[in-house]
Amino acid sequence: MFDKRTSGILLHPTCFPSRFGIGDLGNEAYRFIDFLADGLQQVWQILPLGPTGYGNSPYLCYSALAGNPLLISPEKLVEDELLSEEDFAGLPDFPLDSVDFELVVQTKMPLLKKACENFKQQASEELQEEFKQFCDRASDWLEDYALFMSLKEVFEGESWNNWHKEIAKRKPDAIAKWQNQLKEPIFSQKFLQFQFFRQWNSLKEYANEKQISIFGDIPIYVAHDSVDVWANPDLFCLDEETGEAAFMAGVPPDYFSATGQLWGNPVYNWEKHQRTNFAWWMRRVEAILEYVDIIRIDHFRGFEAFWAVPQGEETAIDGEWIEAPGEAFFTLLKQKLGKLPIIAEDLGVITPEVEALRDNYGFPGMKILQFAFDSDRANPFLPFNFINRNCIVYTGTHDNDTTVGWFSIRTPEEQARVIDYLGCVCPEGIHWSLIRLALSSVANGAIFPFQDLLALGSDARMNTPSVADGNWGWRYRSEAINAEVSTHLQFLTHLYGRAPY
């Protein structure tokens, strides 16, 4: 996809308008695809689609392979005759511009549970057969996931390493016992995954028919409290007694943080992964490529070397760099899959060794325009310093402020530096100026958050790193998609040679 000039929009599905309080895979998702096509965009970038845990972050999911049930469209379940419009009577007044996650769960999960009960009682033979085929096809991860999520309910949300010792350690007798006791909730979890992937695959097919590729995201690490760690403890560096992370992931102190960043995820036992020919990672990539077309690997540098912090530390200061077998992994992956549709998130302090790993496999890197104006003319994010076309340029990412918000909090001197580079701020505003700069660059790919098209300020920001609360909840209103925005996007995309051909 990124071997020619192209452009696209970054927007997570939770951001769609919906009467159920959170964006889903219903009609507004299809309307957004139509908007992309009308605006001559060829890429829709999303965040991870997994079931989120504490904090609602798509980068801390209960599974690396499962989908988030909150994205299931109840309206699509009406089409399958598993719900009716009468079931939606008395919906609460959800916020229009944000997600109240607690209220969404309280409202939506009973609807999904009712749909599951209706499925058992009245689903057509064709739909039942489709469900059976899905369960068979996904059994290598679905069985563990359905049991894990059912156990989470039994133990009232406790992390798996605080469950009864026998089931925390996955003793065969305990597994058999709980599988027998939890047949109903296990079935429900499988049904939810069936519906998620059924709706997602339909949406992806629609996007691909419109010549739009789905650009997904793989966080390099998984959450400690996840089925991935519970079901595969030998693949992670864990304390054998407590099950806690023996070494935690993060990044060391740098210009931005005197204490570094301590993420808390367990790091990988790469020796074990190598002995299995990276079977877990191979399956993870293959599974993701079943429902996206392109993958961004978050924290790509961790495949060359990773920062490991011992258990018990409260900051990332006292860690060490440990080499990772990225070359061995990507070589095997390429042998199995051929050309790899992978983008490397290569932001932060990147060493020549990381650049060599990226370039050896031809992975495009990332350029962020909001980072381009705070140093001298050698800044690698300034477009005239892009070494080659094999990169993706962004106005900002989900971790940045919106362009309007970013510009508004800059000092007059800092704003002048941006304006001097641009020559002027175009009449449409600073957001379109940076979008023009991205589109006009030599980078093969240009992507911008949907908030930037809408000229939204900091209150529309998706995530503020290192801030625990108030993230991941922004939504837009239905009227935000209109002919004026679409026509201007179409004009600029064609003007700078990024229209489909």
Tell me: pLDDT of 107 over 80.
yes
Q: How high is the pLDDT of residue 373?
A: 96
Write the pLDDT tens digit of every residue in 232-249. 999 999 999 999 999 999
Write the pLDDT tens digit of every residue in 145-167. 999 999 999 999 999 999 999 99
Q: How high is the pLDDT of residue 1?
A: 67
Write the pLDDT tens digit of every residue in 423-442. 877 778 999 999 999 999 99
Report the Cα 275 to chain-centroid distance in Å: 29
Beta bridge partners of 43: 8, 213
**Phi–psi pair at 456, nearest 5 degrees:** -90, 150
**Residue from 34, 143, 244, 298 carrying the catalytic annotation:** 298
Q: Give me the DSSP letters along 39-71.
A: TT--EEE----SPB-TT--TTSBS-SS---GGG
Q: How high is the pLDDT of residue 424?
A: 77
Average pLDDT value for residue range 405-427:
91
Q: How high is the pLDDT of residue 428?
A: 84
Is 140 annotated as catalytic? no
Is 469 annotated as catalytic? no
Domain ranges in the chain?
A: 232-363
Average pLDDT value for residue range 438-447:
98
The proportion of the chain whose per-residue pLDDT surpasses 70, expressed as a percent, equals 99
Q: How high is the pLDDT of residue 52?
A: 97
Compute the half-sphere exposure of residue 191: CA atoms within 13 Å on the CB side of its CA: 23
How high is the mean pLDDT of the chain?
A: 96
Q: Is 305 helix (H, G, I), strand (E, B) or coil?
A: strand
Is 298 annotated as catalytic? yes
DSSP label at residue 401: P
Average pLDDT value for residue range 442-470:
94
**Residue from 166, 244, 355, 399 carrying the catalytic annotation:** 399
**Residue from 225, 304, 345, 346 carrying the catalytic annotation:** 345
Average pLDDT value for residue range 276-303:
97
Is residue 320 within a helix (H) or strand (E), and if so which, with residue range?
strand 320-323
Q: How high is the pLDDT of residue 93?
A: 96
